[in-house]
Structure 1
Amino acid sequence: MHWLAQWWAREVVDGCKGPLLLSFVAFVVAFVVVRFITRMIRAGKGPFHDISGGGGVHLHHSTPGMLILMLGAFMGIGSPPLSGWTYAAGVLIGVGTALVLDEFAMLFRLQDVYWSQEGQLSVNIVTLAAALIGLAAVGVSPLNIKDLPPEVAALRGVIVCWLVIHFGFVATTALKGKYPTALIALFVGPVAFVAAVRLARPTSPWARHRYSSEKLERARERAERFDARWGRYRARWDDAIGGAPTGQPRH
């Protein structure tokens, strides 16, 4: 436990990561709560009910989420460092981000696809975001090199350079539409490299903007083969977190 206390003191306390860690916890808790509520509303169970504005306009939770996120952001940049206001801002940012990203697919497509197959993109984005925020919250602070021996500081610099390259591969994997793979690639370096150089998903931003019609057809064929083998396992994971798409129950 001594090493854990040292890590906490150096990387969280001295690294000024308290607000970030609290924001991460708020992000995860808010996402779990909002998914629980929306699934109860969908099933018609419990005290929860649909919220609509005047004239039958549905109030999506990304709207208050954006307001909460903006409030937290301005509170964070306008507060004294590591004050109680900064920690409160971290909570607001975590909650607001969770509410917005939970409806990422709707904002991305400008359509109400929350319970559709396309809407499960939000689950992938939230999972990836949680992994990134969690790594930033509990990982080693690359700039926290005070009182370190020169050789240790140099080693940390090499590691930081490698991480920049690694996250570049992870970002490329995400742009290619391979969100679950990008999540795994965060923790397994070789996966990031392999996924980044292989064909993108045909519906990804990478494929739409960079592929010729012939290469896009190859990407579709490869995606069909991959989905035929692994699609049902991914669907079970998405359904367990986000709920089965409307009209498409899976077992």
Structure 2
Amino acid sequence: MFASISSFFSNKLWLVLLLSVSLLTACKDGGSDDDIAPSPERPRVLISNPSSDTTVLVNTEMTFRANGSGGEATSHEWKVGSQTLAGEKEGNLYTLTHTFSTVGEFKVSITLTNEVGAVTVERTIKVEEPFVPVTTRLTNGEQKTWKFMSIKLNNTQEIIEDNEKRHTLVLYAQTQDTGNLAYNAERLLNNQAQSFVRGRWSLHSQESRIEIKDIFDRIMQIEELTPTKMVLKDQVTPQTAIWYYFDAAQ
């Protein structure tokens, strides 16, 4: 009986030893987790400057910075609007220096690519003209000559006459919201080639409207005013408006 029990345990011991050797051999043949190559991943990128959409002035030089991570990128590409640019790369830092020479809204993006795929991030940049006070835009700070370019009924039907395209309006600054003016109408009147009318101008309602006396004798809405262009709207009746387009004389 004791011999049988001893034989039983002896057989069990050999079985355990055989199983242990098999497991060790399997582990050796299979290798460790450290020997398994990691799966490639798509790159990631974050624009750090600017950190959000922003507004800049025209002709401003701006440097964009983006930080890459994740899978290593094999190529990168910046875009400003429809323009493709290379920029610079140092390690995982990508930079682009660009000057915005025109007013408008532009999408600026960077794309990183590798064998797994591509990733793109972007910022919206609004480019504006520097702020110039209304009076300065009207008069250049002292005086400014505006040429009649177009007169439209309800901003659709052109009603300017050929001789009126030679008319000019000269605005003189006196205070921040008032001044004198001279209207030069080139037309034959009593055999005179030129006819001048002098008057006054003044700004109303937080500088969004201008009153021109002794010529129109009306308060007009300033629809557009830049250093080179002026558009005035005269709401004659609820249904009728006359739009005056001027260009700054060179």
Give the structure-2-normalised TM-score: 0.19
Ranked by relative contact order (alpha carbons within 8 Å, sequence separation 6 or more), the top structure is 1
Normalized per residue, the structure richer in strand is 2
Normalized per residue, the structure richer in helix is 1
Larger radius of gyration: 2
